[in-house]
Chains A and B, each alone.
Chain A
């Protein structure tokens, strides 16, 4: 109980003094996760929609594969990206290992399947309802992709949030490819892991509370926006 009170005290102290180191860690965490989510959306939304709309051989297989990849273990992704980016790996020449870029790449790989798989489900259901009408209006499957993504926007927000949640919560992949280097690649989850291993439970718990609050804030804000907009459009 003492530990807990101390942790909260430490967390608020760090927060209210806008502790430089803390702000740096929080800032980098948000930056990495948000960029990863953005890139994953650019890939995952159209990919999921395409698998929902186009009829091609192996389509079922793709759908199942995506669902399976949703549960990719972060450490495995970290390991693969590590091997690809390490000096002797195929992309070693870019020197990206132990940079935020490497962490973004790993997170994109982790969350594209989540966003794509959830998008596929949403768009497939919408297509059942819209297909005749859209084709009658003159839209082919390709043209229907942006239309359906826009019309499914309220449901798709959930898919994007799921991706963001996974990106900001995972520690295994960013630890391996980022290396948890102070001032360079240290993010909240890796910092927490480090503080715990050092025995500094107070700081670790404090960071954990901030991570939780951030996640709640993002989800709450998006939920509120979604509810208001959705009520307007029925």
Chain B
């Protein structure tokens, strides 16, 4: 038998995306290798969610290429998982929600059952296994989404603000699950608005602003001394939209010209 093809690296080349006549992602170039946890930050509407969906293949880019090392569409999809800000649960029991994607992957029933049990107990959802998933609280659903992702043993896990609207305890539980999935060998790429969470989780930071990737740096350096002044302002909490007047946009254009 030949070695299973690794999914990573993921390469984005000159990627842009447009909707409603607006350019929402602009000339994005970057590459993701296996290993370090990547956290994407940036103000509301910067295009973070869109960026994740482009990478995950849920929306096609208008221009440019997004390529995985494993170029087979089906097998590369099966090696990824994504947790949405508001996960959608099927109108079935908690455990059936984990079974479903395992079945799509053609995993045997015996293995499905053991994977599901393991995932549920990891997420602390064991006692809810027969509950209808839709009646769980938001936090429980988020944990279930993580448990589902864990059971899939993905090589890459995308997370879109996984702890927005969770209480501190649930946030902690979700962060531990993310850590467990990372330790299992998954590359984590996530977005968050919680900068202290970014510091806790990230190995590297991507700063996205108005559809552009303005900075990419190791977490330490990013928070100590971001090179980009918009990133600097954002980290200090000074990047306020009502101050983003013409001046800043002119600066931005100048910077783009310098490159």
* Interface: B82 (CB within 8 A): yes
What is the bound-complex CA distance between A129 and B104, given in angstroms? 20
Is the contact region of chain A dominated by helix, strand, or loop, or is it mixed?
Answer: helix
Point out the residues of chain B lying under 8 angstroms from A132, CB to CB: 53, 58, 84, 88
B138 to A: closest C-beta gap in Å: 13
Cβ contact within 8 Å between A138 and B104: yes
Cβ contact within 8 Å between A138 and B84: no
What is the bound-complex CA distance between A112 and B115, given in angstroms? 41
What is the bound-complex CA distance between A143 and B57, given in angstroms? 17
Cβ contact within 8 Å between A233 and B134: yes
> Which interface residue of A130, A132, A150 has the most chain B CB atoms within 10 A?
A132
Interface residues of B in 88-104 (CB under 8 A from A): 88, 90-92, 100-101, 104
Point out the residues of chain A lying under 8 angstroms from B90, CB to CB: 147, 150-151
Interface residues of B in 62-121 (CB under 8 A from A): 74, 77-78, 80-82, 84, 87-88, 90-92, 100-101, 104-105
Kindly supply a per-residue 1/0 record for chain A positions 135-146, scoring 1 wherever the CB is within 8 Å of any chain B CB and 0 otherwise. Answer: 111110001000
Nearest B residue to A148, CB-CB: B90
A-B contact count (CB 8 A): 52
Nearest B residue to A132, CB-CB: B58
Point out the residues of chain A lying under 8 angstroms from B78, CB to CB: 138
Contact among A137, A138, A151 for B91, CB-based, below 8 A: A151
A231 to B: closest C-beta gap in Å: 9
Point out the residues of chain A lying under 8 angstroms from B135, CB to CB: 232-234
Cβ contact within 8 Å between A138 and B101: yes
What is the bound-complex CA distance between A138 and B76, given in angstroms? 10
Point out the residues of chain A lying under 8 angstroms from B101, CB to CB: 137-139
Contact among B57, B74, B100, B134 for A137, CB-based, below 8 A: B100
Nearest B residue to A139, CB-CB: B104
Nearest B residue to A136, CB-CB: B82
Interface residues of A in 116-139 (CB under 8 A from B): 129-130, 132-139
What is the bound-complex CA distance between A153 and B90, given in angstroms? 12
Cβ contact within 8 Å between A135 and B132: no
Query: Could you write out 30 A-B pairs with CB less than 8 Å apart?
Result: A130-B88, A132-B58, A132-B84, A133-B88, A135-B58, A136-B56, A136-B58, A136-B81, A136-B82, A136-B84, A137-B104, A138-B77, A138-B78, A138-B101, A138-B104, A138-B105, A139-B101, A139-B104, A150-B91, A150-B92, A151-B90, A151-B91, A153-B91, A154-B91, A233-B91, A233-B92, A233-B132, A233-B135, A234-B91, A234-B135
Q: Which residues of B contact A (CB under 8 A)?
A: 53, 56-58, 74, 77-78, 80-82, 84, 87-88, 90-92, 100-101, 104-105, 132, 134-135, 148
